[in-house]
Structure 1
Amino acid sequence: MSSGSAIRGSRVGSSPMRPDERSEPAPRRQVSYFCSSGHDSRIWFAADVPAPETWDCPRCGQPAGLDRERPPGRLRTEPYKSHLAYVKERRSAEDGAAILAEALAKVRQRRGRD
Structure 2
Amino acid sequence: MGSGNAIRGSRVGAGPMGEAERGEAAPRVWVTFYCANRHESRPSFATDVAVPDQWDCPRCGFPAGKDPQNPPAPPRNEPYKTHLAYVKERRSDADGEAILEEALSKLRNERAAIQAAMARARN
Instruction: Report the TM-score, using the length of structure 2 for normalisation.
Output: 0.67
Return the offset for 1:37. Answer: 1.0
SS in structure 2 opposite 1:74? coil
User: After superposition, where does 1:61-76 map in structure 2 within 5 Å?
Assistant: 61-76=61-76
What code does the residue aligned with 1:38 have?
A: R
Q: CA deviation at 1:75?
A: 2.5
Which aligned segments of 4 or more residues in structure 1 are displaced greater than 6 angstroms?
none
Q: Deviations over 1:16-45 (max 9, x none)?
A: 974440411233322211012110011222
Using the alignment, how far apart are the partners of 1:7 and 1:104 within structure 2?
A: 70
Identity of aligned residues (%): 50
Aligned length: 108
3-state DSSP of counterpart to 1:111 = helix
Q: Following the alignment from structure 1 to structure 2, what is the Cα–Cα distance between the partners of residues 75 and 110?
A: 51
Structure (1 or 2) with the greater helix fraction: 2
Q: CA offsets, 1:35-88, max 9 Å, x none?
A: 121100112223222122112211112221111111112322222222211111
Assess if the C-alpha contact under 8 Å between 1:19 and 1:25 holds in 2.
no
Decide which structure has the larger Cα Rg and report it.
2
- Which residue matches 1:32? 32
Partners of 1:56 and 1:63 within 8 A in 2 = yes
How far the C-alpha of 1:8 sits from its partner, in A, is: 7.7
Aligned to 2:20: 21
Please say which of residues 20-29 and 52-61 is displaced more in the overlay.
20-29
Structure 1 pair 72–2 and aligned structure 2 pair: CA distance change class (3 A): same
**Residue 2 of structure 1: aligned partner:** 7
Write the distance in 1 (CA, Å) between the matches of 2:43 and 2:74.
20
The answer to whether 1:96 aligns with 2:101 is: no
Structure 1: where are the runs of 5+ without partners? 10-15
Root-mean-square deviation over aligned CA pairs: 3.0
Structure 1 or 2: more strand by fraction:
1
CA distance in 2, matches of 1:78, 1:17: 51
